[in-house]
Chain A
Amino acid sequence: MTETTTAPLLSAQGVGKLFGHVRALRDVSFDLHAGEVLAVLGDNGAGKSTLIKALSGVYDLTEGRLRVRGEDVSFGKPADATARGIATVYQDLALVDTRDVAANLFLGREFRRGPFVDRRRMYREAERILDGFTIKLPSVRVPIYLLSGGQRQAVAIARVLVGGADIVIMDEPTAALGVQESERVLRLVRDLRDAGKAVILISHNLQQVWQTADRIMVMHLGRVAGIRRRADSTVEEIVKLIVYGDPDTERDPDGAPDAGTGEAGAAPDRPDGGTAHDPVKDTDRRAAS
């Protein structure tokens, strides 16, 4: 299977974002296809959240083109992105804790029968959607505050299915979860992919990304350091991309910036240098765990 067999659902070309004089994002280009999980990795400050906010309509772009299903789009507000079939599962999940599962799934788009909400249909529909999930809920009538973190994540993901979005952005879905619940949530992410959705998965956790992603896009200091097919890459290569923004950089005993990645504006981010540390050791630890 190759990227060229289908037209991309979402395509970014030379996308950039300036905040005043600060260039948070520059020349970001990638394609996203139906039925794939694209993981976005990067250290803090690499531009992941800026990119995600631009894609979900929170920020408007200052440079480049964004195309959804081959059409040029520009998002002024989150609703514009939603209208194009882009749904974001926010880190805070955006759930109403005091309301039950079904009320949350259908918030803002409740089924109606005459002047009233069609509760029976919403409960039935909610059960149908959540039945297919690996994370089980006690009932769709339970208020959110009684649910565990993974169950809440499942409800937030189910909201996407209710809305009928085909591009799903997930911002650190496992950040607040334990091991077991993280596994289940990642399973849900793969289920979304298998249902034909295009998923962008933002994560810090390389191991989880490895389990879940089809392709991995590494961001470094606001630009794309590289996009790799998971099957064709190694953990080591990805780690190098994350750390140096370049896959070919070897460990430099002087701790001096590599000429290849050299980006004059990059240095102020971490001016101190710090003690020498073996990145390969890092890699081994991650890979071993």
Chain B
Amino acid sequence: MTAGLSAHSAAHSPGHPAEHSAAHSPSRPAVRSFADGLGVLNPAGWFGPTRPSGSGRDGRRRTADRLLDLGIYLALVALVLYFWQASPYFMTQRNLLNVGAAVAVTGVLAAGMTIALIAGQLDLTVGGNIALTSVVVSLVIEDLGWGTPLAVVVGLAVGVVIGLVNTALVVGVGINSIIATLAMGIVIRGVALISTDGQTKPLTNLALPDFLQDRPLAIPTSVWILAAVFLASWVVMTFTRAGWHIYGVGGNPSAALRAGVRTKRVYAGVFVTTGVLAALGGIITTGTSSSGGPNYANGAEFDVLTAVLLGGIGLAGGSGRVQRTLAGVLVIGVLNNGLTLMSVNSYYQQLARGAVFVLAVVLGAVGERRRAR
């Protein structure tokens, strides 16, 4: 037995320096970074000035990587410049505000989806959420006659409830958020269809449509809401403990837990946020269409995901910035608007949108490979 032990020990005899240096090059981490596997463009650290004063390759970013990180902003600028010279109507105040109003709902949802993805989760209930909220808000205004402000509060409460149910499924039961929210989205739309018997519920009380068609300081209310949502998301994610914990939980859940972050509470906050923002999108939709419809926003999840992924928010969690999502949203808005101004056939518009998306994904993959090198 002693001989057995001894042989065993010899086989595992650890760390003679000669063996060590042969096995690993010392200048390089032997364990490959978890972040190497992150999807698409990774903006982490871009806006903080990173002083590359270290020796070797550690901590240094290449110019090409930085350019790749800037991709979505460059794309937005390029599109704006192109349509500016291509159409005389594009660069007018009125038209630019139209772009803003057109992407308002997608944008509000995309802000929520960004936060969910940073936390490493996905919320696919947002389309159903919009439908149910719009139906509930119109029913409360028309059939219950509670008045528009109260209806808005009820609508946001719908979002909170949906967020809590999602939390219960994902955190409580432990179902993957893609599956749980996909299923819940179908349920929610079913509830919306049942509550109006599949009919669209038109508003006769026009307080909400009037509010949304108003233009304080010449800017549509929906654009104000969009701006406020992104400003608030940016502040929360960048400057508050809640935001830092969301990044931490998304980047490494077990590390966050061991560091004392209450991860379940973080997830609950994230799902309630996406729920409330989707409900807000539903309220905007109700106002701009003057009706509540159980078929509204069918497949909205995917438009939203397109915008978020254009912004380079990684699916793996822990990375991404809301300002990049805003750029992604605006790229889609500018593209739709510009192509329409140039009277491009809508089938080709579809092709162009897809092509831009593919390009963004390809650039993201290139950036990822550069980083993994």
Contact = CB atoms under 8 A, between A and B. Distances in A.
A103 B247 contact: yes
Given A138-B59, A207-B15, A107 B255 contact: yes
A108 B59 contact: no
A100 B140 CA distance: 47
Contact of A178 (B24, B33, B38, B259): B24
B247 A257 contact: no
B216 interface: no
Interface residues of B, number: 69
A274 B251 contact: no
A92 B256 CA distance: 13
Contacts of B49: 141
A257 B240 CA distance: 62
Q: Which of A249, A251, A277 has the most CB of B within 10 A?
A: A277
B29 interface: yes
A218 to B, nearest CB: 12
B198 interface: no
Contacts, number: 228
Q: Which of A142, A147, A289 has the most CB of B within 10 A?
A: A142
A181 to B, nearest CB: 6
A251 B33 CA distance: 45
B56 to A, nearest CB: 8
A285 B20 CA distance: 15
A282 B9 contact: yes
Interface string B233-251: 0000001110011011011
B8 interface: yes
A138 B58 CA distance: 7
Q: Which of B31, B52, B258, B261 has the most CB of A within 10 A?
A: B258
A83 to B, nearest CB: 10
A94 B48 CA distance: 23
A149 B23 CA distance: 15
Contact of B251 (A96, A137, A149, A277): A96
A200 B27 CA distance: 27
Nearest to B372: A145
Contacts of A258: 2
B215 interface: no
A233 interface: no
B66 interface: no
A242 B4 contact: no
A167 to B, nearest CB: 16
Given A138-B52, A289-B17, A279 B252 contact: no
Contact of A152 (B17, B26, B29, B261): B29
B180 to A, nearest CB: 24
B8 A97 contact: no
B373 interface: no
A176 B258 contact: no
Contacts of A256: 1-2
**Is chain A's interface secondary structure helix, strand, loop, or mixed overall?**
loop
B363 interface: no
A96 B29 contact: no
Interface stretch (A26-34, A65-73, A115-123): A115-123
B3 interface: yes
B318 A98 contact: yes
Interface stretch (A2-10, A12-20, A188-196, A265-273): A265-273
Given A204-B14, A270-B5, A138 B60 contact: yes
Nearest to A262: B1
B241 A110 contact: yes
A219 B27 CA distance: 33
A179 interface: yes
Interface string A95-114: 11111100100011110100
A75 interface: no
A61 to B, nearest CB: 20
Contact of B15 (A109, A116, A141, A205): A205
Given A205-B15, A277-B7, A143 B45 contact: yes
Contacts of B240: 115-117
Interface in A226-256: 242-244, 249, 251-252, 255-256
Nearest to B19: A289
A201 to B, nearest CB: 14
A147 B44 contact: no
B256 A141 contact: no
B255 A179 contact: no
A277 B3 contact: yes
A151 interface: yes
Given A117-B241, A139-B51, A99 B7 contact: no
A110 to B, nearest CB: 5
26 contacts: A90-B258, A98-B35, A103-B244, A107-B245, A117-B244, A139-B52, A139-B53, A139-B54, A142-B50, A143-B35, A144-B35, A145-B371, A146-B45, A148-B27, A149-B30, A152-B29, A179-B21, A205-B15, A255-B4, A256-B1, A257-B2, A273-B3, A279-B9, A282-B9, A286-B16, A289-B16
Interface of B: 1-10, 12-18, 20-21, 24-31, 33-36, 38, 42, 44-45, 48-56, 58-61, 239-241, 244-245, 247-248, 250-252, 254-256, 258-261, 314, 318-319, 371
Given A177-B30, A278-B6, 7 more contacts: A43-B8, A110-B244, A116-B240, A139-B54, A182-B20, A207-B17, A243-B6
Q: Which 5 A-B pairs have the closest CB atoms?
A: A178-B26, A138-B59, A138-B54, A255-B3, A145-B35
